[in-house]
Amino acid sequence: MIWIALVLLLFILQMAFVIFSEYQRPNKTVVWLIVLYIFPIIGFLLYLFLAKEYMCSPAPSQEQNREWNRIKADLMERCRQRIRKNHHGETIGQDDDLHALLSGIPVAPITACNETMVFSEGEGAFEAMLSSIAASEHHIHIEFYIIRDDRLGTRFEQLLIRKAQEGVHVRLLFDGIGSRQLGKTFLKRLRDAGVETGCFFPLLASFMNKRINYRNHRKIVVVDGKTGFFGGLNIGDEYLGEDPKLGYWRDTHFSIKGDAVLWLQFTFLTDWHRVTGQIIADSAYYPIQESQGKELVQVVKSGPDETMLEIIFSLIVTAKKRILIETPYFILEPGVFLALKTAILRGVDVHVIIPGVPDKHLVYTATLSYVQELLRAGVRFYSYQKGFIHAKVIISDDLAFSGSANMDIRSFCNQFEINALFYDGKVVNRLVDDFYRDLGESEEILQSKFEKRNALQKMQVVFARLLSPLF
């Protein structure tokens, strides 16, 4: 009997520990209690290694913070001057309250004089990146969640080696979990040629430091501080549609020139400092932008310590006519879920495109649980049939928000992401055209589909939904 009492006491202590640690996040508290109930010991170990709150380590010194604040203040002042000079008196956005929120984001100013090109698939985007890298004269900064040592990865590798040998400063960042299959030989060849590399959250160190649940999901290329690329693509042959299981790969990626590039650069260099400890503050990395474009763009970076939830929520609750969403994963935070239901009640048309062919079955099953509930509310969902849709786009009336962030809790809370708000009609219209082209290659998901599921499928959806706050 004493052993039963001790086991019961241990179980109660584990539950109490989770409750007191997670009381500010009740939705996750419930999930972890369920995991503990099903897997009493293993569940607690999983909690210790996966649920730790993110803390920057090592924390920047006061001197380092002052240096970054100086750089940021200088960039913000430069952007404000260009806004005043080129867009004086213009109204930005669709709602005064939304405009006040977006303009007030302290680390993401609205930038002027931008020129954006939208890519809807990998081939054109990668050719543009490789062409820009080949023409570089001073530096190349590359940051991706996934880099593979395959045919496409080899093209990047060989070009970076050549540019480094020409005397161009080349720096490469990759995520330790996303790029866990990237071999040491690949990196050695780069380093031997003079390419500087850094791993964001190495796999073993992340496990030991209890950071295994955090990722750097950003995809950034900056060339000479004047041309930037960002969006949903990683470096791998599957992003060219060469995965036999997923087939055609539909994505959204951007190239950009103008003041927005300064903030892509700032994001990369702060990540570089986080990984290597180096502060690169030379003005050559923040050149005067030569672009004479007319677009207003707002680059928004986020992570475990600064989310973009407020922006996504605000775009939904201020929409008056339409909300168009494309996302490979659809796992919603409660506030965003409620905002979408409320938008329907206000008479807003809400259309969402998700994959017809999933790449992660558990996440897709959880997605279907949100789909089912929102179908009842009046949201219209479509499954993409041409291949795999990896595009991450939110269109709210005449604004568009796109980049690396998925419409899921992991992107909202646990991953380092980079997105941008587009205010220009040409860019927004292009994304709208892409959306409706994708809609033509999709099948509408009807409520009757869910009524035909058997008991096992229904149980899988329930289980996946319960675990969804951890995805």
- Residue 95 known to be catalytic: no
- Residue 219 known to be catalytic: yes
Task: Give the active site residue among 397, 398, 408, 434.
Answer: 397
Residues 6+ apart with CB under 8 A from 374: 337, 340, 341, 352, 381
C-alpha 44/C-alpha 292 separation (Å) is 56
- Residue 224 known to be catalytic: yes
C-alpha 152/C-alpha 164 separation (Å) is 19
Contact 166, 142 (CB under 8 A): no
C-alpha 212/C-alpha 116 separation (Å) is 35
Task: Give the active site residue among 141, 163, 169, 219.
Answer: 219
Burial class from Cβ neighbours inside 10 Å (0-12, 13-18, 19+) for residue 376 reads: exposed
Which 8-state DSSP code applies to residue 150? S
Task: Give the active site residue among 141, 163, 253, 392.
Answer: 392
Bridge pairing between strands 387-389 and 442-445: unpaired
The residue type of 239 is Y
Residues 6+ apart with CB under 8 A from 470: 28, 31, 32, 50, 409
Burial class from Cβ neighbours inside 10 Å (0-12, 13-18, 19+) for residue 384 reads: buried
**Structural element, H or E, at residue 175:** strand 169-175
How many H-runs (helices) and E-runs (strands) does the chain carry?
17, 17
Task: Give the active site residue among 139, 217, 273, 351.
Answer: 217
Task: Give the active site residue among 390, 408, 424, 434.
Answer: 390
- Residue 88 known to be catalytic: no
C-alpha 23/C-alpha 114 separation (Å) is 44
- Residue 217 known to be catalytic: yes
DSSP state string for 297-336: EEEEEEBTTB-SHHHHHHHHHT-SSEEEEE-S-B---HHH
Task: Give the active site residue among 95, 149, 224, 424.
Answer: 224
- Residue 390 known to be catalytic: yes
Contact 67, 316 (CB under 8 A): no
Which residues are catalytically annotated? Answer: 217, 219, 224, 390, 392, 397
